[in-house]
Structure 1
Amino acid sequence: MIDDPNGIWLGRIWRPEVAGPSVVTVRRGVVVDITSRTAPTVRDICEMDTPAAYVATCPGTDVGSLDTIAGNPIDPAFCTFLPPAIFRRSRPAA
């Protein structure tokens, strides 16, 4: 699924413990919830001047391993990735 460990990844998961979606990234094989008041949606991050820098440096909460969450069934009782895309890769500015 993630073929470049050096990439900056942005996506969404369903989190049953908050009964809703969360904005996430992947760091060292761990899915990290980066939802915040500053950026409550993926769209908010994408509209920033430097979205890749924000995703790479913002604080977050570890949710679980990428392998575990990617393997979970699509069921509201489990953390699971949400469409439309599993992840979108953001390339840092050159």
Structure 2
Amino acid sequence: DVFQRTLVRVDQCATWSIGRTPTEWLEGWFMKSPMAHIKRGNAEEFFAWAFFNKYPSELKEEQKSEMSAMLQECERRYDWSFAE
């Protein structure tokens, strides 16, 4: 699926000498805002757009659950912590 392929690419990019870390990758989508400034709601909006092509308010319950699992996987895998 798209999310799993994205994780693979983010991980690959981090290994390149000119690559970015997963945190730098996410910060890049937020105009290089530091991770400490990226709120969970902002990440939800980004993930809803990137993986479902929708606004969070347009997601069905199943999609909201899937998106939540995606965010939790990234938090675990990349040690991300979003501002509330």
Instruction: Give the shorter-chain TM-score range.
Output: under 0.3
Report the structure, 1 or 2, having the larger helix content.
2
Higher relative contact order, structure no. (Cα contacts within 8 Å, ≥ 6 residues apart): 1
